[in-house]
Amino acid sequence: MTIQLGQTAPDFEADTSQGRIRFHDWAGSSWVVLFSHPKDFTPVCTTELGETARLKPEFDRRNTKAIGLSVDTLDNHARWDADIAETQGSAVNFPMISDPDRKVSDLYGMVHPEADPSVTVRTVFVIDPNKKVRLMLVYPPSTGRNFQEVLRVIDSLQLTDSQKVATPVNWQPGERAIIVPSVSDEQARERFPQGWDAQKPYLRWVDVKAPS
């Protein structure tokens, strides 16, 4: 199955390290970061899981839940969790999906035809509270994922969902945004009474506050 931006994230039932879940029910009204790992006991993913656990307060602040997936079994997940806590200094504090039959992996297109069929590719999905897929990233096995970038994208999506703006290259929270072209100057005056800086008619910079 090919997942596309704006599509409803497929629902599923699966066993996880924190019990059996139905994905949409588990997600509730939260944002979700769903990310897959080729298999347990892999070095790069060990560092990623530790970092995700460490960042839980940041995810919580953004009303975001993290959930991992690999094609290994729950007993392997449990043994790997111990290694992660020992080597990374942060115990895994989010569910890890056990997907040995690859039902979820196939549903989300995490097994690529030219890759090793026994493992998933290293994907990241950001899913909003309406269960829409808002971001997809695919990483090579040798490159650790940048979870600061994942947080930055969530910040951008939450800001742009709440206001008629887009975020420019290398944007960071607190920096100026861009009024989207679909908003006329007349509409912009109502929405942004603080005014804006128009470098070009289509490039209007505005200071906006992130949603609380």
Rounded (10°) CA dihedral 191, 192, 198, 200: -20
Instruction: Provide the token pair at 113.
Output: 């035809």
Question: For residues 96 and 100, what is the distance between their CA atoms, to the nearest angstrom?
Answer: 12
Contacts 24+ apart (CB under 8 A), 174-177: 174/210, 176/205, 176/206, 176/207, 176/208, 177/205, 177/206, 177/207, 177/208
Catalytic residue among 9, 34, 45, 111, which?
Answer: 45
- Burial (Cβ within 10 Å: 0-12, 13-18, ≥19) of residue 47: middle
182 part of the active site: no
Q: Is-contact 97 67, C-beta < 8 A?
A: yes
Residues 6+ apart with CB under 8 A from 141: 38, 44, 122
Instruction: Give the residue numbers marked as catalytic.
Output: 45
